[in-house]
Structure 1
């Protein structure tokens, strides 16, 4: 089963949320519906980056690593993948 590590944002260089899920489409819809306090409060609704992983442990390690990164590194990762910080939901497998 594929697991995804993902970043959602409120706007370019705005508030972000890093998470992981085995059903990323469903998770993005839940964020957009405001089911998590942080994403609802900060209007985080745009999927700007994601990365597939083959197993749970690899995705967990990557998520924890990204959460420890400096904000500038996270912004650079997003910008390299998605220069305009546009919604990437259409690119999900």
Structure 2
């Protein structure tokens, strides 16, 4: 079994939010940034990675993604702001 990631993409601070799951975070974010990710991300130009959570098992990442998708928007914003108060793009951090 391989690990996985849950992540949140946005277009700006407190903007449109997209929650996803992947086993290869750098590749998936690269896809989103180049318009090859989800139709939703492409439609709203969600290219900023603002939250990434690592999981030991991909199954755990999938469970976390499903849970986060049930959360109220305010809770998601609070989660991002706790981990990334400036809503900065984390893509360069993961791409090192």
TM-score between both structures, scaled by the size of structure 1 = 0.94
SS in 1 for 2:32: helix
Q: Does 1:59 align with 2:61?
A: yes
CA–CA separation in structure 1 for the residues paired with 2:59 and 2:39 = 26
The equivalent position to 1:74 in structure 2, one of 53, 62, 76, is 76
CA–CA separation in structure 2 for the residues paired with 1:67 and 1:11 = 19
Question: Could you say which residue in structure 2 is the equivalent of 1:14?
Answer: 15
CA–CA separation in structure 1 for the residues paired with 2:58 and 2:90 = 22
RMSD: 1.1
**Structure 2 unaligned regions, length at least 5:** none
Structure 1 stretches of 4+ moved >4 Å: none
CA–CA separation in structure 2 for the residues paired with 1:86 and 1:38 = 21
**Structure 1 unaligned regions, length at least 5:** none
CA–CA separation in structure 2 for the residues paired with 1:29 and 1:57 = 22
Question: Could you say which residue in structure 2 is the equivalent of 1:26?
Answer: 27
SS in 1 for 2:68: helix
- The Cα shift of 1:16 comes to 1.1
TM-score between both structures, scaled by the size of structure 2 = 0.92
